[in-house]
Amino acid sequence: MAKNEVEQPLGPFLLIWSSQAVSLLGSSLVSFALIWWLTESTGSGTILAVATIVTIMPRLVLSPIIGTLVDRWPRRLIMLGADSLTAVATLLLALLFSLNIQSIYLVYVLMFVRGLGTAFHGPAMIASTSLMVAEKHFSRVAGLNNALRGAMSILAPLAGALLVELLPLHLILAVDVLSALPAIGTLLFVVVPQPAKVDPSATASILTELKEGVKYITSWRGLMLLIGVYAMVHFLLAPATALMPLLVTDYFGGGALQLAWMQSATGVGLVAGGLFLGVWGGFERRMATAMVALAFMGLGMILIGLVPPAWFGLAVAGMFLIGFTLSFVTSLRLAVLQAVVPPAIQGRVITMVLSATALTDPFGLALAGPLSDSVGVRTWYLLGGLITVVVAVGALYAPAIMAIEDQVVPAPAGKEML
């Protein structure tokens, strides 16, 4: 697809973006409320782990297919369908809860539907942006998106905690439905351009190109080792995030507000880390910077696991450290892939790498849930932190990983140029 060099009015895009921002705020509030309801109702790490699994599974399982469908189906209808499906499911659960028909499994169903909607909506919105915004505005749009994510990660937990204290769950769900209405209404009227039609004869090569991507990745030892490192990060960090509510209630004796402080500290750390990295730039080798940051992230987990119950502020500081360093770990991974993977195959290779590392999430959750129920959540933070430090230090002494930026593997024959 050629880059969009035609001047495009920003009005339609900003209208969609702002309405989606309102919807995202509502969704973030409901996510906090649902997790807190599960925590108060069950106090089970296994229940929280399963809740996270059902939310992320649609994205993990369907991501290779969704990218192709987004390129073929009308993107406006994909976003409209995803928003509408999520709103209807949320409304139904709100009605059931208002009638005192409450069930963990109903919450699971809603989380799955929300995960499915997000899995389709995100790629469709990203793909539509390049057709609605002139290339010279791409950086501004990226800045808007980063600012939105940062604001949501900081403000949504605190606002969610406030709503949990003031409203029953069915009314919080209703807030989410109301916040989705501007997004749905906007998509009914705003035109979202479609990309040029692809030659039908080219579609037969999709499977071939996927195979080429897999072959490219598996033939590069340094990249395979890097995937292993990040897969371990996902395996350890996803459960730590999912089980945080139990850490707050069972160990620190806190409530929804204390959970909000922990989550918001992570958000502040992510924003601060991104700003610091943008100013500093990191060491000469990006991977060295990322692995040093990963080691400090492990120390943050260890700090949370060791801090006495009365020193909750230190745990908040530990979450800030995790967020701060996580910004380095994730940003530099993408920067390295963009630097070393040939542009002609970047899309499929980066998608495959990100999907492969995230596939360990459900396995970590499946192990951590029962483990936390038997020995406590702190054990996962301690063990996870120690393993993270060991993995990071090991990666620093792995030549194949440290020299990955010097070992550019060429694209398959015929794929060197776009």
Query: Higher-confidence residue: 70 or 158?
Result: 158
CATH assignment of 10-194?
A: 1.20.1250.20
pLDDT at 232: 95
Identify the H or E element spanning 101: none
Mean pLDDT of the region 166-177: 95
The one-letter amino acid code at 89 reads: A
DSSP 252: S
pLDDT at 418: 41
- pLDDT (tens digit, 9 = 90+) per residue, 57-68? 998 888 767 767
d(CA 160, CA 162): 5
pTM (predicted TM-score): 0.85
- pLDDT (tens digit, 9 = 90+) per residue, 329-364? 988 887 888 778 876 677 678 778 888 888 999 999
pLDDT above 60: residue 4: no
Closest CA to 152 of 321, 26, 330, 324: 26
- pLDDT (tens digit, 9 = 90+) per residue, 238-262? 999 999 999 999 999 999 999 999 9
**Residue 102 backbone phi and psi in degrees, to 5:** -120, 135
Mean pLDDT of the region 200-224: 76
- pLDDT (tens digit, 9 = 90+) per residue, 82-105? 999 999 999 999 999 999 999 999
Residues in CB range of 286: below 8 A, 6 or more apart: 332, 335, 336, 339, 405
CA 384 and chain centroid, separation: 20
Mean pLDDT of the region 372-388: 93
Task: Name residue, tokens 């936390």.
Answer: 372
Within 10 angstroms of residue 31's Cβ, the number of other Cβ atoms is 18
The one-letter amino acid code at 331 reads: S
- Average pLDDT of the chain is 87
Closest CA to 176 of 193, 160, 155: 160
Within 10 angstroms of residue 193's Cβ, the number of other Cβ atoms is 14
Token duo for residue 197: 């039609």
Helix boundaries (H) for 99-220: 104-132, 138-166, 169-189, 200-203, 206-218
- pLDDT (tens digit, 9 = 90+) per residue, 307-333? 999 999 999 999 999 999 998 998 888
- Classified as helix, coil or strand, 196 is coil
**Residue 205 backbone phi and psi in degrees, to 5:** -90, 0
Domain boundaries, the chain: 10-194, 204-407
Same fold yes or no, 10-194 and 204-407: yes
- Classified as helix, coil or strand, 5 is coil
pLDDT above 70: residue 200: no
CA 281 and chain centroid, separation: 23
CATH assignment of 204-407?
A: 1.20.1250.20
pLDDT above 60: residue 202: no
